[in-house]
């Protein structure tokens, strides 16, 4: 029963203890649809149901359900939700979308799903006088962020971890000869069985997100960890669950040269995350920090301190760990190198702490920049993440490519959309009575992200909109060129017009784009700078 997280040693179900997990900002988005007759849809949309305003009642029911999920689903933890948003759109079906956000040690997917399910059942209750055959379908998690497993969207990871390496540093000797083959399923995927010299990539996780068990082959050697030294395998399993493309495990003795050699080899072989376990204490043979120091181009003191603090929350001796973190560069490629203690509790706390950080770490290693409003996702005071993608935003781009307004309009069209409203902004030949010869647009590097956020804000204010797209051009433009285009699809024209106008106003006021106008008289001026 060891592989079943919600079953104890006796086979009884249990609620998982999440006390060791760090608090992080979490968002979950769920979707579902209610299918009902055209007559019921019309009455629901127009507020003419015998029971009253079905959309308003269903929205409130969904919010209440999210807050009481732990009372309905036996193994869910009671959570202090910070925001719940439930939106219903009447198209050829009733589309329901719920977003739940909070800061906690466990996620809110079940709360979002419960909100959708109860909102959908409420719709059925409200329309049953007109349609006894109404049905709730396709309730699913659309997106999530936060937590050890990172961000997901439509069942796929938002950010995949690159190849990783795990180095177990140990001077213990195997207490008995190792067998030629050892099953390491109970240690986590890709783990090296105690007593084996192993260097094997970890296979990808199975369809259910759990790591597949493998068999490790090898010969015993003096550097192999003793039975019970499983910190390295635990890290390998955690990296696999977090979505690492592959995980290679190594075992080395407490020796400066050996540690440096294997870490350098892993980075040269393509590992962009290397985690060592063991050798960070105060004993004479604890030399891992000294071995890594010359390899690091720069250190990350805040990450090392955060790891120590995460461990100290559960055991005071974590303060004695000399954990280090830094970046190693190999022929222009960057790798994160982290030294963790060798205890099971230490690596468990550390991997839980690193989980919410992986997306930003991967982005930074790849040369990404800090977004201006990047949330702190590690503590209780962090802001709610704003980067959970809404699949209804089909395009939100700021760049130099010419704009095809017709293609943009076609991209948002759906069979369920009764109206598609587009706006096309073109360069005119005058401004304030002065003749314009040409102009140039420049944008902040985060302009596309801000445009997407504004699109999502508009969708939250206009829940009946089924899809939206917006593109703004940068660079030198001539009179008559398209500078901006937006397209909005909705079941009804009035809401489509309102949403499109709202989006255009929001973009003009909020996207960091500046315009340099050149006039026919040879003068020029910046607008919005």
Residues with a known catalytic role:
125
Q: What are phi and psi of 49, to 5 degrees?
A: -70, 150
CA atoms of 138 and 132, how far apart (whole Å): 19
Among all chains, which residue has been given the structure tokens 């180095």? 167
CA atoms of 292 and 283, how far apart (whole Å): 17
- Virtual CA dihedral for 207, 211, 215, 220, nearest 10 degrees? 160
Q: Which residues contact 122 (CB under 8 A, 6 or more apart)?
A: 54, 57, 58, 61, 62
Q: What are phi and psi of 259, to 5 degrees?
A: -65, -45
CA atoms of 261 and 62, how far apart (whole Å): 57
Among all chains, which residue has been given the structure tokens 């390998």? 236
Strands, E assignment, 105-151: 135-145
DSSP output for 179-244: PSEEE-GGG-TTPPPTT-----BPPPP-TTSPPPP-EEE----TTSPPTT--HHHHHHHHHHHTT-
CA atoms of 333 and 270, how far apart (whole Å): 9
Q: Which residues contact 258 (CB under 8 A, 6 or more apart)?
A: 223, 252
Which H or E element spans position 331? Answer: none
CA atoms of 146 and 154, how far apart (whole Å): 15
């Amino acid at each position: 029963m060891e592989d079943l997280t919600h079953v104890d040693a006796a086979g009884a179900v249990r609620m998982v203890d999440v006390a060791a997990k760090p608090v992080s900002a979490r968002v979950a988005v769920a979707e579902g649809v209610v299918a009902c007759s055209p007559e019921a849809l019309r009455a629901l949309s127009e507020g003419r149901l015998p029971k009253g305003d079905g959309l308003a009642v269903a929205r409130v029911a969904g919010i209440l359900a999210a807050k009481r999920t732990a009372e309905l689903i036996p193994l869910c933890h009671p959570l202090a939700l910070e925001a719940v948003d439930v939106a219903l759109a009447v198209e050829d079906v009733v589309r329901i979308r719920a977003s739940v956000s909070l800061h906690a040690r466990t996620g809110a997917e079940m709360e979002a799903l419960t909100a959708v399910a109860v909102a959908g059942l409420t719709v059925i209750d409200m329309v049953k006088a007109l349609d006894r055959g109404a049905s709730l379908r396709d309730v699913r998690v659309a997106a999530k962020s936060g937590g050890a497993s990172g961000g997901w969207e439509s069942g796929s990871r938002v950010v995949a971890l690159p190849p990783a390496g795990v180095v177990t540093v140990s001077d213990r000797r195997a207490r008995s000869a190792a067998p030629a083959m050892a099953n390491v399923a109970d240690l986590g995927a890709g783990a090296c069985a105690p007593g084996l010299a192993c260097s094997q990539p970890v296979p990808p996780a199975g369809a259910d997100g759990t790591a597949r068990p493998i068999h490790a082959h090898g010969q015993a050697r003096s550097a192999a960890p003793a039975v019970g030294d499983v910190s390295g395998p635990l890290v390998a399993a955690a990296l696999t669950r977090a979505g690492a493309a592959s995980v290679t495990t190594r075992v080395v003795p407490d020796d400066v040269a050996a540690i440096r050699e294997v870490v350098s080899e892993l980075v040269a072989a393509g590992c962009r995350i290397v985690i060592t376990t063991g050798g960070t204490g105060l004993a004479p043979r604890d030399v891992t920090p000294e071995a890594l120091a010359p390899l690091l181009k720069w250190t990350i003191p805040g990450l090392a301190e955060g790891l120590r603090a995460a461990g100290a929350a559960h055991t005071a001796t974590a303060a004695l760990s000399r954990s280090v973190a830094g970046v190693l560069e190999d022929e222009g490629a960057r790798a994160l190198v982290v030294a963790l203690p060798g205890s099971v509790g230490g690596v468990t706390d550390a991997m839980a702490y690193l989980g919410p950080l992986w997306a930003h770490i991967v982005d930074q290693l790849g040369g990404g920049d800090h977004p201006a409003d990047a949330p702190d996702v590690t503590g209780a005071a962090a802001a709610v993440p704003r980067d959970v993608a809404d699949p209804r935003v089909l395009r939100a781009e700021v760049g130099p490519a010419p704009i095809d307004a017709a293609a943009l309009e076609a991209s948002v069209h759906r069979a369920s959309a009764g109206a598609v409203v587009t706006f096309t902004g073109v360069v005119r030949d005058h401004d304030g009575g002065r003749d314009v010869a040409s102009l140039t647009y420049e944008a902040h590097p985060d302009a596309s992200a801000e445009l997407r956020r504004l699109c999502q804000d508009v969708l939250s204010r206009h829940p009946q909109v089924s899809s939206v797209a917006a593109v703004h051009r940068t660079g030198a433009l001539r009179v008559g060129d398209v500078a901006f285009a937006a397209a909005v699809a909705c079941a009804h024209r009035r809401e489509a017009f309102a949403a499109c106008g709202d989006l255009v106003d929001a973009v003009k006021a909020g996207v960091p784009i500046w315009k340099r106008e050149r006039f026919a008289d040879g003068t020029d001026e910046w607008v919005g700078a």
